Chain A
Amino acid sequence: MNMIAPTSSIASAVATPRPQIRIVIVGHVDHGKSTLVGRLLHETGSLPDGKLEMLKAVSERRGMPFEWSFLLDALQTERDQGITIDTTQIRFRTPSREVVLIDAPGHAEFLRNMITGASQADAAVLIIDALEGVRDQTRRHGYLLHLLGIRQVAVVINKMDRVDFAQKRFAEISREISEHLIGLGVTPSAIIPISARDGDGVTARTPRISWHQGPTVVEALDALEPARAMTDLPLRLPIQAIYKFDDRRIVAGRIEAGQLSAGDEIVIMPAGKIARIKTVESWPVTPVAGKLGAGRSVGITLDRELFVERGDIVSHVGTAPRDTRRLRARIFWLHDAPLAKGAQILVRLGTKEARATVVAIDKAVDPGDLASIETQLIQRNHVGEIDLALAQSVAADPYLENPNTGRLVIEVNGRIAGGGLVLSVNAGERAIPIDIVPVESALQDDERSARYGHSGAVLWLTGLPGSGKSTIAQSLERKLFSRGGSPVFLDGDTLRAGLNGDLGFSPKDRSENIRRLAEVATHLARNGHIAIVAAVSPSADDRAQARRIAADAFREIFVATPREVCEGRDPKGHYAKARAGTLTNFTGTGSDYEKPDAPELTLDTTARSAADLAGDVEQMLAKTGILSAEPADIAANI
């Protein structure tokens, strides 16, 4: 059989001793991009033998002065015939860099192509005509480089021969473009006066620019750094998928920042679940030991069964990303239809996708002229800041903290329509409902109250563990049911086993726990039931939030049993465990319970029975208009 399994010789003829750097040359039309590229190819010895001489001869024969841009045109034609050099990725070498020049069409119409190309670059060269100065496309490209996260920008001021190599003109343009770029957070790595046509400043510091202290173009390219994997930042491993091809359950993804190894304690956001990395899986050799860093596509197994899904982010405890439903971002918009306030879009953050509503638009502007700022729409090829309300929690970082996880892409109708940088992550803000058309019940409120003898209510029993909330609630439930009512008992612990099973006991999770209880209870109340919530709910803020959610239907009932009494009862053994130190974060043993300031009712269980106290609640409900005056004996009224 004619097959060859090659030997595993590691010696590789293509191993490049120079770091590879991908650059994009941008700038206004006719400011000399092609001329500079032609000149660079020539001066770095990257042209095929005899090519230049041939082109010069052709120009002469046709009676046209030779232009460096002919070179690119000629290469383009040849490339189109499948010969020699590919102009979409021209390669050349500087003394210490292997440069790959990425083609990024400059025409404004094809901004999406410019962005697609430029997004792959490590660095950019922004070219400006010394005579024309900074133009709209110069500004637009500068702005987009910033939004694409390209921080290394060398500015080249070309056609200095047309302004007699005037240092003053160079200084003027330098100042203008520097201000523009620095305003965007991009500090030019160099500003270089050149004449691409004559060669000044490209590789040689000629006498005509003897006043220039900085580098030549080739020196500037030589100083650019390849985008480095962000190994020094906190770990971010966005989950791509969970694979169960065999008995392993492998969480797969690419490390976007930081590093990991087996044994690490991790937290999976946004849910905040804690686990340990059991193994780092690979193929064909597995498992692998040692640290793996940013840029690697990896697979890990965990030491416990957790529900994790695509879009979650694996991070280290203490340096996790925030979870949020609100983001502010600075974006560029590429879609034909403008982005309007109120628009419903799909947001992609790493591997997470979430529906979102644009709740505000700010500073929308054409990045070419930066005038006429709008606040309602972002037009095609314009930029702006937006506030997004997300339909679900996501894990995110501000761009300044993590360039990889701090950027997002917007999709409209399944097509990428824009993208940008996350400016801020507003954790904790309530989401604005999205895509929701509430459907009303077919029944009228009075139909329900006629049947139940009461209108809907949320009875919120708060108090220390062991204070008797559940016992009172059960007694009340029985009482209301006996008189034809429709009570529903929502016990905090019971709901934690299901609906709130993903929540822990951090202050944030406690808040979310309360919020969900309040939402469920309010929904029941709107449908005429009396929801009886029994939950410690130690935080006054959380209870205030519950009151806001349930509004008029809310009745706060403080079960004010003193702590010593509760501790003596200790029905669930919590106090004993807390004392023994095996139960941390337990409310009531510390001073973290915040008593209600103005409850609708206060109950003390030390002297009275649950049934008795339930009677007090009943009276309060009658007094505050929840219970109808007469028990609902409809038959008696006929």
Chain B
Amino acid sequence: MSDAIPGVNERLSTSRSGDLAPSMDHLDELEAQSIYILREAFARMKKLALLWSLGKDSNVMIWLARKAFFGKVPFPALHVDTGKKFPEMYAFRDQYAKEWGLDLRVDPCPPIDAVDPTLPPAARSAARKTEGLKLALAKYGFDGLIAGIRRDEEATRAKERVFSPRGIEGGWDVRDQPPEFWDHFNASPPQGAHLRIHPILHWTEADIWAYTQRENIPIISLYLSNNGKRYRSLGDSDITFPVASNAANIDEILTELNTTKVPERAGRALDHETEDAFERLRVSGYL
């Protein structure tokens, strides 16, 4: 891909308020905020990793990290691998881990038998990933995990903080979240626990696509329409399904998002098995 995108100064030659300094557009504001969060995480946590799920959101996140740290991602990119991703995703991972100079750590998930058998099948499968994550946390001793979740994706994610403390067991106590305001973050997890850091919590699905387009960030082709279907969200190949769509490029995706009433995670089976499946997963440490 080409690195040829316009420089900050060229792109923003117009001014909204008559200020001397070029004003920022919506994507500039989102970007600046995310960079601020990433730098806060890097300054305040001792051992940080970025969770790379290979999807559009975590790719944007890596891009933002490269912006924040001037080309270098100064912490590992952790892929907790269920072994069941689409082949296109693995190919993407291997190519761009190299191209982007990432310190890639791939850690497998435990076998399905190790996971709570009372969960519905898809949720159980996703909970495997949570177990894999716990193992990776124990192995590397990370105290901060950067995750690419967004408020608009799903109801329980909307309640998240930017710096979100987890218990020793990785659990999330949604009822006792600390206050967070003015970009001051709670960055002191208890001994042995860790923090989740959410640099793109304030972005929407449409923002992600508009930014991907503006910055020329590579994407996996599964997001684009093929025979009238495309994936809006990518997970394990056995529990993720495409939605009906003719959007074959990002412009068309953006147009589609402007009118659709179908939620982003509609194709993610695990969200819909029981009313509280997703919340149960999150409380026990799922992203």
- Give residues in A with beta carbon < 8 Å to B: 1-16, 20, 48, 79-84, 86, 88-89, 103, 112-113, 115-116, 119-120, 148, 228-229, 231-232, 240-241, 243, 245-246, 248, 250, 252-254, 259, 281-286, 288-297, 299, 310, 334, 348, 351, 407, 409, 411, 413-416, 419
Contact = CB atoms under 8 A, between A and B. Distances in A.
Interface of B: 1-9, 17, 19-26, 28-29, 31-33, 35-36, 39-40, 42-43, 66-72, 74, 88, 91-92, 95, 151-152, 154-155, 158-159, 161, 177-182, 184, 186-188, 206-207, 209-210, 212-214, 216-222, 224, 249-251, 254-255, 257-258, 261, 263, 265-266, 271-272, 275, 278
B40 A48 contact: no
Contacts of A82: 154-155, 263, 265-266, 271-272, 278
Contacts of B21: 231, 259, 291-294
Contacts, number: 227
A154 to B, nearest CB: 22
Given A82-B266, A295-B24, A240 B43 contact: yes
A48 B221 contact: no
Contact of B1 (A5, A10, A229, A243): A5
Contact of B2 (A5, A120, A310): A5
A25 to B, nearest CB: 17
B251 A9 contact: yes
B32 A295 contact: yes
Contact of B3 (A86, A103, A243, A284): A284
A227 to B, nearest CB: 11
Nearest to A114: B179
A240 B183 CA distance: 12
B26 A20 contact: yes
Given A5-B2, A297-B33, A409-B184, 14 more contacts: A2-B91, A2-B222, A3-B95, A8-B5, A9-B250, A12-B213, A13-B255, A88-B155, A282-B7, A282-B70, A293-B20, A295-B28, A297-B35, A414-B187
Nearest to B276: A80
A260 B20 CA distance: 10
B34 to A, nearest CB: 8
B210 A12 contact: yes
Contacts of B222: 2
A327 B72 CA distance: 39
| Nearest 4 CB-CB pairings of A with B | A293-B21, A414-B188, A13-B254, A119-B181
Contacts of B74: 245
6 contacts: A4-B220, A14-B207, A79-B155, A88-B158, A88-B159, A292-B21
B254 A80 contact: no
Nearest to A248: B70
B241 to A, nearest CB: 14
B151 A88 contact: yes
A81 B275 contact: yes
A81 B66 CA distance: 36
Nearest to A311: B43
A8 to B, nearest CB: 5
Contact of A1 (B91, B216, B261): B91
B70 A86 contact: no
Nearest to A349: B184
The binding surface of chain A is classed by DSSP as loop
A341 B258 CA distance: 54
Contacts of A89: 151-152, 158
Given A79-B155, A82-B266, A407-B182, A286 B70 contact: yes
B9 A289 contact: yes
Nearest to A149: B182
Contacts of B8: 282, 285, 288, 292
B263 A119 contact: no
Contact of A4 (B95, B178, B181, B218): B218
A2 B70 CA distance: 28
Contacts of A246: 72
B184 A259 contact: no
A293 B22 contact: yes
A245 B69 contact: yes
Contacts of A83: 263
B261 A84 contact: yes
Contacts of A11: 251
A86 B158 contact: yes
B194 to A, nearest CB: 14
Contacts of A299: 70
A2 B219 CA distance: 9
A144 to B, nearest CB: 11
A181 to B, nearest CB: 21
Given A11-B251, A415-B186, A254 B36 contact: yes
Choose among A1, A4, A89, A282 the residue with the greatest number of B CB atoms under 10 Å from its CB: A4
A48 B261 contact: yes
Nearest to A12: B210
Given A6-B249, A250-B70, A291 B20 contact: yes
Contacts of B250: 6, 9
Contacts of A296: 24, 28, 32
Contacts of B219: 3-4, 6
Contact of A10 (B24, B92, B188, B214): B214
Given A285-B7, A288-B7, A5 B24 contact: no
Given A12-B210, A283-B71, A297 B179 contact: no
A416 B66 contact: no
A454 to B, nearest CB: 50
Contacts of A5: 1-2, 216, 218
A86 B179 contact: no
A119 B43 contact: no
Q: Which of A81, A88, A241, A416 has the most CB of B within 10 A?
A: A416
A204 to B, nearest CB: 28
B71 A80 contact: no
Nearest to A332: B179
Given A12-B214, A295-B29, A416 B158 contact: no
Nearest to A292: B21
Given A11-B251, A14-B210, A84-B261, A416 B26 contact: no
